[in-house]
Amino acid sequence: DTAVSQTPKYLVTQMGNDKSIKCEQNLGHDTMYWYKQDSKKFLKIMFSYNNKELIINETVPNRFSPKSPDKAHLNLHINSLELGDSAVYFCASSHGRAGLEQYFGPGTRLTVT
Partner 1 sequence: QKEVEQNSGPLSVPEGAIASLNCTYSDRGSQSFFWYRQYSGKSPELIMFIYSNGDKEDGRFTAQLNKASQYVSLLIRDSQPSDSATYLCAVKPGNTGKLIFGQGTTLQVKP
- What's the start-to-end Cα distance of the chain, in Å? 34
Interface of this chain with partner 1, residues 5 to 44, rule: CB under 8 A = 31, 33, 40-44
The answer to whether the beta carbons of residues 74 and 49 sit under 8 Å apart is yes
User: In whole angstroms, how close is the CB of 16 to partner 1 at the nearest point?
Assistant: 28
Among 101, 110, 111, 113, binds partner 1 (CB under 8 A): 101
Distance separating alpha carbons of residues 91 and 34, to the nearest angstrom: 5
Q: Which of residues 58-97 bind partner 1 (CB under 8 A)?
A: 58, 90, 94, 97
Pick the closest to residue 76 from 84, 86, 88, 65 (CA basis).
Answer: 65
Which of residues 53 and 70 has its CB atom nearest to partner 1 in the complex? 53
R_g over Cα of the chain: 13
Cβ of residue 92: shortest distance to partner 1, in angstroms?
Answer: 8
**Where on the chain is the footprint of partner 1 (CB under 8 A)?**
31, 33, 40-45, 48, 55-56, 58, 90, 94, 97-107
